[in-house]
Amino acid sequence: MRFPDDFVFGGATAAYQCEGASKEDGKGRILWDGFLEREGRFSPDPACDFYHRYPEDLRLAQEYGINGIRVSIAWSRIFPAGSGAVEPRGVRFYHDLFAECRRRGVEPFVTLHHFDTPEDLQNDGGWLNPSNVDAFVEYARFCFEEYPEVRYWITINEPTSMSEQQYVSGTFPPGEKNNFGKAIAAEHAMNLAHARVVNAYEELGLPGEIGVVHALQTVYPYDPDKPGDVHAAALLDAFENRFYLDGTLAGEYSPETLALLGEICEANGQPMVEVSDDERAVLAKAASRLDFVGINYYFSKFEREYHGKSEVIHNGTGAKGSSVNRLQGIGEERLRPGIETTDWDWPIYPQGLYDQLMRLGTEYHARKVYITENGIGLKESLRPGETTIDDQKRIGYISEHLAEALRAIESGVDVRGYFAWSLMDMFSWTNGYNKRYGLFYVDFDTQERHPKASASWFRRVAQTKALS
């Protein structure tokens, strides 16, 4: 079994995690700037200095057989305040970046929002404020008209991670905890923002393609024979996966999904978002037009019945075994015996990718699917005299997940590409710089790049279109 000839073997990045230069060329502040300053743990600068070194990264991409790259536009480089005045230096930067991608034969898949809402808009409520959604549509339209060289657009990256970490776990700014009602309202707002942007793209009659990227963690009951565990898994699945898939792919929220989310809100004494008929029409129209869906898959979850208060401990240091995840009105994550985890407690479960791809294909009738992120975070360092990292663990992880992608293709799901997270080592939102994902090692002191063993292995797969 081989990958199709036109399969995209890509590497993924995101503006705030790779560009650095967060105060350069008129870039406006975003929600993370103040949050990171207050926390004092990490700086987003210089990250891996992609803002200045992208020609080198694209040269390496070409050399290592990588024919696609996920990049995101930093909204606040274009509109420093989120809306209104345009910053020409930011506009220019992305023209130059896309031209370099083209020159190197690396197709850019361009995300409009990758966790980086401009600060002023977030201070006014972020996605929960309808004027934020209006500003996002204005920014998207601007980009569609300004960058005809882009063929693949992604509206929003991982609305799940954004809303849940903003309002439930509190690990993303503004750092609120246990507000499920607010998280669900933000989920709905992002579904709507996405849909309005897809509809605007359609109105402009542009020749490219547009999609959305979801973080889809497959949720299994810890004990499939226990009804309490089965229900806990259904609640978490509705909250983290179904509400988005219903909203963006099916174009309507199913009564089951709404009932499960209503149950979560009730258990937490919080109001459940209301959906108007006009909003339903916007969602339905966009879903009928959506060209592709991207899935970011890293792990699965095993959920147990739980009736206590929420307790979330985030493992942001790589201290294995330190994370706790119990959500009031939902359930508790518990690792099934025999499943390996990373140092950051992410269960390694490649079959979850297959199951999720099959759901996209059979239940949601997704047209085209890209695996827009997959990879493993490892603690790595180059010792003096060494020039490469022998990351066999990463090769094993990616290989097992690619095998599941092949299996899904064989079962009839139209998977068009795979983007390794990440192209090179970069900044991780809640973990800083010791969680490395790259195919290319970055020495953050000198900014030198060193291809890892996984880069050479990935090139072989891309060239032969087969897993050996």
Q: Kindly give the residue spans of alpha helices, DSSP state H, lying in 363-452.
A: 392-410
Residues that bind ligand BGP (CB under 6 A): 14, 17, 157-158, 161, 215, 296, 373, 377, 421, 428-431, 435
Which CB atom, from 114 or from 407, has the smaller least distance to ligand BGP?
114
Residues 393-411 as b/e (b if ≥16 CB within 10 A, e otherwise) read: ebbebbbebbebbbbbbee
The distance of closest approach from Cβ of residue 367 to ligand BGP in the complex, given in angstroms and rounded to an integer, is 22
The distance of closest approach from Cβ of residue 274 to ligand BGP in the complex, given in angstroms and rounded to an integer, is 29
The distance of closest approach from Cβ of residue 254 to ligand BGP in the complex, given in angstroms and rounded to an integer, is 25
Which CB atom, from 15 or from 60, has the smaller least distance to ligand BGP?
15
202: annotated active-site residue:
no
**Across the strands, what pairs with 157?**
213
Which CB atom, from 268 or from 428, has the smaller least distance to ligand BGP?
428
Question: 87, 332, 373, 380: which one is catalytic?
Answer: 373
The distance of closest approach from Cβ of residue 14 to ligand BGP in the complex, given in angstroms and rounded to an integer, is 5
Question: 119, 158, 164, 187: which one is catalytic?
Answer: 158
Q: How far apart are CA 167 and CA 179, in angstroms?
A: 5
Q: How far apart are CA 194 and CA 290, in angstroms?
A: 10
Name the residue type at position 185: A
146: annotated active-site residue:
no
The distance of closest approach from Cβ of residue 197 to ligand BGP in the complex, given in angstroms and rounded to an integer, is 18
The distance of closest approach from Cβ of residue 278 to ligand BGP in the complex, given in angstroms and rounded to an integer, is 30
Which CB atom, from 196 or from 214, has the smaller least distance to ligand BGP?
214
Q: Which residue is nearest to ligand BGP (CB)?
A: 428
Which CB atom, from 303 or from 345, has the smaller least distance to ligand BGP?
345
Within 10 Å of residue 116's Cβ, how many Cβ atoms? 25
With a CB cutoff of 8 Å and minimum separation 6, the contacts of 161 are: 115, 172, 215
Distance of alpha carbon 342 from the chain centroid: 19
**Torsions phi, psi for 21 (to 5 deg):** 45, 40
Which CB atom, from 378 or from 405, has the smaller least distance to ligand BGP?
378
Q: How far apart are CA 210 and CA 151, in angstroms?
A: 8
- Would you put residue 436 in left (φ > 0), alpha (ψ -120 to 50) or beta? beta
Q: How far apart are CA 195 and CA 189, in angstroms?
A: 10
Give the three-class secondary structure for 12: strand
**Torsions phi, psi for 161 (to 5 deg):** -60, -40
Which CB atom, from 31 or from 215, has the smaller least distance to ligand BGP?
215
The distance of closest approach from Cβ of residue 147 to ligand BGP in the complex, given in angstroms and rounded to an integer, is 21
DSSP string, 95-135: HHHHHHHHHTT-EEEEEEESS--BHHHHHTTGGGSHHHHHH
List the catalytic residues.
158, 373
